[in-house]
Amino acid sequence: MLEAGFNSLSQFLSEFVKSLLSLVKVVIRGRHKAQLPARQLPICSVLGNGPSLNESLAEHFDFIRQTEIVCVNNFAHADIFHRLRPQNYVISDPNYFVFTKQTTDRDDIRQTLSVFLERVDWPMLLYVPHFAKGSYLLGQIERGNPQIKVVYFNYTVVSGFQWLTYWLYANGFGMPQAQTVIIAALTLMINRQFETIYLFGADTSWHEQIRLTDQNQLLIKQIHFYDKPKDVTHQPVYSDKHRQRTFSMASQFLSLHKVFRGYEVIRTYADHRGVTILNASAKSYIDAFDRTQIKHSVASK
């Protein structure tokens, strides 16, 4: 009895402290409350950039096109981007927002920017964290393509009592920890109150590509659906700016834990908001969402 009571008290105090810290962060950043647009359709498809997306696009292109589409990060590199004409695009990688004209080592960001400026000829919402405001990338987009409207969201990580965190999520004051851009995208689409969110290309299989050299250097091969596999090799994952040490195996798996835990948080929040998330990825290690196979069109659903 005493041990159970002590554990309950410890858990309460832990949640209380986390809630208090979250509220302090919200007070500091409260002026950055997210204002999200209304949904256009009742169903959306969130497209991750995992290799399995090629199979999903080949088999379910027509289904995906009938939903409101959400793409992320470097999806614009794919030829199919222009055929899909997504209504929504989410970028949360901080590297995009420190990128400048003088940056020499991020050709991928330069390519994404070029596509946005030269090829997007349809209305598209670009969701970015509020700290990106004033960045070179957004300045180029806002001046260079009136078809793209920037929507800012508040990436303040909050935790604590569930009733409090859900209220902060729903009102745009905070988010779960978004270890991947997909977690941010799902949070935004839940808050736009879609009835059903289909998830494609969420392989989450990075652990399959981890290697360790004889010198204990951690290497990872990151393959996206738009890559040519022969052009992708294992690369060291450095933990310092001088590129002398790589991350440890423990830190890498801790990062993966945060990814999968984030999906569990999203699942319970979606249930709370009455939103169904279905994992339709051809390959996926995510177990937080019910799996589904697409066997119908949206019209016949």
What is the pLDDT, as a whole number, of residue 237? 79
* CATH number of the CATH domain containing 131: 3.90.1480
What average pLDDT does range 160-187 have in this prediction? 93
Report if residue 201 sits inside a domain: yes
* Confidence tier at 21 by pLDDT (50, 70, 90): confident
Pick from 133, 180, 175, 136: nearest CA to 158: 175
Give per-residue pLDDT as tens, 60-100: 999 999 999 999 999 999 999 999 999 999 999 999 999 99
Res 1: pLDDT: 64
In a domain, 294, yes or no: no
Domain count, the chain: 1
Query: How many Å separate Cα 249 from the centre of its chain?
Result: 23
pLDDT of residue 126: 98
- 258: tokens are 């945060």
Q: Per the domain annotation, does 239 fall within a domain? A: no
Bigger pLDDT: 31 vs 86: 86
The terminus-to-terminus CA distance of the chain in angstroms comes to 52
Three-state SS at 254: helix
Give burial (CB, 10 Å; 0-12/13-18/19+) of 280: buried
Model confidence pLDDT, tens digit, residues 192-236: 999 999 999 999 999 999 999 999 999 998 899 998 877 788 888
Band of the pLDDT at 5, cuts 50, 70, 90? low
Find the mean pLDDT for residues 115-122. 96
Residue 193 lies in a domain: yes
Q: Is pLDDT of 2 > 80?
A: no
- Residue 242 in this model has a pLDDT that exceeds 80: no
Is the torsion defined by CA of 88, 205, 107, 56 positive or negative?
negative
Predicted local confidence at residue 10, as pLDDT: 78
CB neighbours (10 Å) of residue 23? 17
In this prediction, residues 143-149 reach a mean pLDDT of 96
Instruction: Compute φ and ψ for 43, nearest 5 degrees.
Output: -125, 140
For CA atoms 179, 185, 191, 194, the dihedral sign is negative
Residue 191, domain member (yes or no): yes
Q: Are 168 and 26 in contact (CB under 8 A)?
A: yes
Q: Tens digits of per-residue pLDDT, 150-163?
A: 999 998 888 888 99
Residue 266: the pLDDT is: 97
pLDDT given for residue 149 in this prediction: 97
pLDDT at 299 over 60: no
Domain of residue 12, residue span: 1-206+249-279
- Cα–Cα distance between 16 and 272 in angstroms, integer? 21
Q: By C-alpha distance, which of 187, 200, 203 is closest to 275?
A: 187
Residue 20: inside a domain, yes or no? yes
Residue 259 belongs to some domain of the structure = yes
Report pLDDT digits (tens) over 84-95.
999 999 999 999
Residue among 236, 177, 193 at smallest CA distance from 212 = 236
Of 20-34, 43-57, 219-233, the poorest mean pLDDT is in: 20-34
Q: Is 215 among the domain residues?
A: no
SS3 of residue 5 by DSSP: helix
Per DSSP bridges, beta strands 43-47 and 68-72 are parallel
The per-residue pLDDT for 156 is 86
- CA dist 174 and 260 (Å) reads 19
> What mean pLDDT is predicted for residues 261-286?
97
